[in-house]
Amino acid sequence: MRQDSLGEERIYTDVNEGQSFWEGVKDCIPTLLGYLSIGFAAGVVEKTSGLSMVEIALISLLLYAGSGQFIASGMIAASHPISAIVFTIFFINSRHLLLSAALAPYFRHQTTKQNILTGALLTDETFGVAINHAQLNRAINFKWMLGLNVAAYFNWFVANMAGGFLGQWIPNPEKYGMDFALPAMFIGLLVLQILRHKKYFLDCLVALGAIIIVVASSFVFSGSTGVIVATIIASTIGVVIERWK
């Protein structure tokens, strides 16, 4: 056991050499177009919902969640109570518990403060990039992850502010396909992950299972709950099949 531990430590040290902050920033570049378009659209919606530029800045920096900001803007415009807005956003963003849990094994060598900072800035997009990176390197360096997260965070803030400032000239962002930028980015990340995983049958089986579970759970749960249920069950099935084989 000791030799395995020492070997693991050497692998961790060797892999993390060269994973600098700026390399994390560079690896974030492929996702920036999605951040710009979705962030810009979020800024437009926030502005049309009656938020000021200061409020748009605060919601993008403190909430920092695309789906959450869109929903919050709509609920604010409809004069929903604060408690309902907070509960709804918390429920929708509960998927981050799964994202953080999936990345946690790669950060067991980091300090508690570093893990808190990583988790606070983690998004769906940076999670996708980090998982692909982990499959190639078997470990993730904190500096690299910080560069990835900070680049995404800053880009999201700039996009929100640009949308809030210039959105008055774009009353219908869906007309220009901005609403599809985020799904398109996720599709690209998924394809890269499948190609690197090279277990096509298992990946297709998990994907098919997830689709069936989402459809079935939609008769019982809401759409967002169905996605969480499908993610947990389908990923569990995939792990069991992979271990069994």
Distance (Å, rounded) from C-alpha 3 to C-alpha 90? 43
pLDDT of residue 158: 95
Instruction: Write the pLDDT tens digit of every residue in 153-200.
Output: 999 999 999 999 987 777 666 676 655 655 666 676 677 667 766 777
| Residue that has been written with the tokens 């979020």 in this structure | 42
Query: Quick one: which of 25, 18, 24, 65 has its CA closest to 46?
Result: 65
Q: Whole-model pTM? A: 0.69
Q: At what angle do helices 96-103 and 112-120 cross, to 10 degrees?
A: 140
Mean pLDDT, residues 13-27:
75
Radius of gyration of the chain (CA): 20
Distance (Å, rounded) from C-alpha 49 to C-alpha 38? 16
Token couple for 213:
């579970």
Instruction: Write the pLDDT tens digit of every residue in 29-47.
Output: 988 877 888 888 888 888 8
pLDDT of residue 8: 47
Instruction: Write the pLDDT tens digit of every residue in 54-97.
Output: 999 999 999 998 878 888 888 888 888 888 888 888 877 887 88
| Residue that has been written with the tokens 């049309």 in this structure | 48
